[in-house]
A and B are shown apart, each in its own frame.
Chain A
Amino acid sequence: MAVPPRQEAELLAALRSGQEDAFETLVRAHSGRMLSVCRRILRNEEEAKDAVQEAFVSAFRGIQSFEGTAQLGTWLHRIAVNASLMRLRSKKRRLEESIDDLLPAFREDGHARIQPRDWSPSAVLLVEKRETREFVRACIDRLPEIYRIVLLLRDIEELDTAEAAEVLGVSDGVVKVRLHRARHALRRLLAERFGEGASS
């Protein structure tokens, strides 16, 4: 539920003056989207709820210094991403498969080893089914964490390269390389379900 711009300015003023009902309005308007973001990053309902709570506490602390150049929703979205990433960093890493095995392979002359067929029309149709969407999410979860996170931040949460680099504490170049590898790897995993050509 987005807050219209004029109402948002009034809401911001009310938050800054500490009006109690303004905080509830803010939470009711934005907690849904923030919870979705935290769920996507953390893949755990309780962790996601805790991250949303932490994100709001950060937002309440920072409301006086919020410059208002971005929309409140965009600002809160970034805070939720940060809170989720903080939680993720404190968690033990799961065992991961190497991404190298999921990247395209080439012959010495630069031609691809696998001649893919075009399964994009069936992918578009199949993703309408809940079962397929669950499969796609499971494929995303098979990516090593650093690649999964970049894919989520860039392709799902729509942070630009510089924003993703900032929240991850890496360079723009690192984000580009990770995204590139993550997309190739995901395509490879999806091809296992949607169909792929034989090696040549």
Chain B
Amino acid sequence: MMTCREVYGFLDEFLEGRLNISTRLAFGAHLLLCPPCRNYLATYRASIEAARRSERADARSDEIPEELIAAILSSRKAAGLEPRAE
């Protein structure tokens, strides 16, 4: 029987579908008999999702200051990356 410690150790492989068949069976059997580990898995997954949504939800991707665009384009000139006139 897999222990809670082992279940916790396999969470990433489980979420990414990388457990081999025998480990997956032992992992599943433990979860069936251990509600706290089921809860841990649910909250572990929810934490990843909460991080993803929190970091992305407030991204102001459409608010690009014009002065930044101008600075980027002029930095190309400053770095001498423009084609030289013949």
Judge if A3 is at the interface, Cβ distance under 8 Å: no
Given A116-B43, A119-B43, A183-B47, A32 contacting B68 (CB threshold 8 A): no
Most buried by B among A106, A111, A112: A112
Expressed in whole angstroms, the Cα–Cα distance for A194 and B8 within the complex equals 20
The answer to whether A190 touches B37 (Cβ under 8 A) is no
The answer to whether B69 touches A27 (Cβ under 8 A) is yes
Expressed in whole angstroms, the Cα–Cα distance for A106 and B8 within the complex equals 10
Please report the total number of A residues contacting B with Cβ < 8 Å: 58
The answer to whether B64 touches A28 (Cβ under 8 A) is yes
The answer to whether A56 touches B76 (Cβ under 8 A) is yes
**Which residues of chain A come closer than 8 Å to B82, judged between CB atoms?**
18, 20
Residue of B nearest to A24 (CB): B73
Given A35-B64, A60-B76, A110-B6, A127 contacting B47 (CB threshold 8 A): no
A-B contact count (CB 8 A): 154
Judge if B59 is at the interface, Cβ distance under 8 Å: yes
Expressed in whole angstroms, the Cα–Cα distance for A134 and B17 within the complex equals 31
Judge if A68 is at the interface, Cβ distance under 8 Å: no
Residue of A nearest to B12 (CB): A180
Q: List 22 A-B contacts (CB under 8 A).
A: A20-B82, A24-B73, A31-B64, A32-B64, A36-B61, A40-B59, A49-B65, A49-B71, A53-B71, A56-B75, A57-B76, A61-B79, A112-B40, A115-B36, A116-B36, A120-B46, A123-B49, A127-B50, A127-B53, A134-B54, A187-B43, A190-B50
The answer to whether B54 touches A104 (Cβ under 8 A) is no
The answer to whether B69 touches A183 (Cβ under 8 A) is no
